[in-house]
Homo-oligomer: A and B are copies of this chain.
Amino acid sequence: MESECNLSGGVTAAAGFQAGTASAGIKYKIKKDIAVICSNVPAVAAGVFTTNIVKAAPVLVSMERIAGGKAQAIVMNSGNANACNGEQGMGDALAMASAAATVLGIPEELVLVASTGVIGQKMPMEKVLLGIRQAAGEISAVGGTMAAEAIMTTDTVPKETARKIVIGGKTVTVGGMAKGSGMIHPDMATLLCFITTDAAISPNCLQRALKHAVSCSFNMISVDRDTSTNDTAVVLANGFAGNPVIDNEGDEYISFRDVLTDVCVNLAIDIARDGEGATKLIQVETRNALTLEDARLAAKSVAGSNLVKAAIFGRDANWGRVLCAAGYSGANFDPGRVDIFLGNEQVTKKGCSVEFSEERALEVLNNDTVRIIIDFNIGKYDATAWGCDLTYDYVRINGDYRT
C-alpha cells in the first residue's frame, strides 16, 4: 500500500483537528509562542517522553494524563520550558491546561501540556493565560502550519509533514509537526513532536506504533547528545477516517505503523538538518550488523561524534574518526571486517585504508546531505541515524558570549 507523501497542513491535515496560535510575548514581543491543537472529539492518545531524570512540569502533567490512553487537546508554548520551577511550575502547567479546557469547552483532564525554552525561570502566567485563551478561541482546521511556527525556538524553519494511506478501504491521514534544533538557545533544548491522525486505533496499538516510530526516528538523531528535560512526542487518533478499529498487529497495524514512522522520520531528518549552526545533514547507515541494537548504537555514535561532525564541517574524508566512533559505541563487531563508504566512494576495506579519489570524496562532502555507510559484514541488521556538522555557529549560538 503506497502512501501519499508530504501533504500540507501538518497537525490539521487529518480530519477533525483544529489548531490556533497566539503571540503572548513570553520571550519575544512579536513571535507566535502559544499553540493549541484540538480534536473535535476525545481521541485515543499515546506519548513518549524524555528519559531525563529531571522532567519539566508539563512533561509530568502530560505523562500522567496520557496514561489513560485518552486526550483531546494539547496546549503548548515556546520561550519558557517551565522546568525546575518546583511546585509552582506544576501549578502553572495545570493552569495552562485548565485555561485551554475552559475556552475549548472540554474536560481539563483531556488537555496535555508542553513547553520549550528557558529552564528555571518562572512562567509569566498572566501573558501565558491570555495567549492560551486567544489561541484556543481562534482554532481552525487550517491552523497547523501556524502552530508549527509557534513552537520554534532556534529552529530556522517550521517542521511539518503529512501522509495519506488507505486502510480498510478508508483514507487515513497522519500529520505532524516538530521542533528542536538541538538543545535550544539560550538555555534549554527540546524536541517536541505532535502527531494527529484520523485513524481508528486502540490505545495499545497506538502506543506500540508510536514507540516503533520514535525508535527509528527521533531516537536516531543526534544534534549534541544532550537529552532535554522537556522532550515530548504525542499522537492523537480521533477515528474520523471511519476505518475498522486497528486493535491487533495485523496488516492494517503494519500499514499504520509504517506511515506513522515515515512521518516521524521525515520530521526527525528536518530537525537534524536544522541543527543549531548546521550547514549539512549527516546520514549514517550501518549495514549487516550482528543485532539491531549494534546497528543502532554504531550509527548513533558516529552521527553524534564531535570529531566526525567537525570533520564533515571541514569537508575532511576522515574515515578513521568514523571507525573510532563505531568502536566506542558499545556495538559488537570485528574491526578487521568493516567497509566504510563516503557516498559511493569506498574509503575503508576490511578495516584498513584503501586508495580512493580525494576528488570524488570531496564531491560527496560538498553535498548538503553527506552519507556515510558502514558495512560490518558480520550479520544482517541495518540502521540509519542522522546528525549535523559541528560549526562555529553552534558555539556562537550556545555560547551566548558576553562581551
Question: Which A residues are within 8 Å of any B CB, using their own CB?
Answer: 51-55, 81, 83-86, 118-121, 183, 186-189, 224-229, 305-307, 310-311, 313-316, 318-321, 323-328, 331-333, 335-336, 348, 350-353, 362, 390-392, 394-396, 398-402
Contact = CB atoms under 8 A, between A and B. Distances in A.
29 contacts: A51-B328, A52-B324, A53-B327, A53-B331, A53-B335, A54-B327, A84-B323, A84-B348, A84-B351, A85-B352, A119-B324, A183-B324, A186-B316, A186-B318, A224-B307, A225-B306, A226-B305, A227-B324, A306-B398, A310-B394, A310-B395, A313-B395, A313-B399, A314-B398, A314-B399, A314-B400, A390-B395, A390-B399, A395-B395
B120 A319 contact: yes
Contact of A121 (B121, B325, B326, B353): B353
A309 to B, nearest CB: 9
Nearest to A323: B54
A370 to B, nearest CB: 14
A302 to B, nearest CB: 11
B227 A311 contact: no
A311 B183 CA distance: 12
A51 to B, nearest CB: 7
Nearest to A277: B395
Nearest to A183: B307
B399 A306 contact: no
A104 to B, nearest CB: 31
B119 A316 contact: no
Contact of A399 (B52, B311, B328): B311
B228 A324 contact: yes
Contacts of A326: 53-54
Given A120-B353, A226-B307, A319-B120, A332 B401 contact: no
A401 B335 CA distance: 28
Contacts of A327: 52-54, 227, 229
A49 to B, nearest CB: 13
Nearest to A320: B119
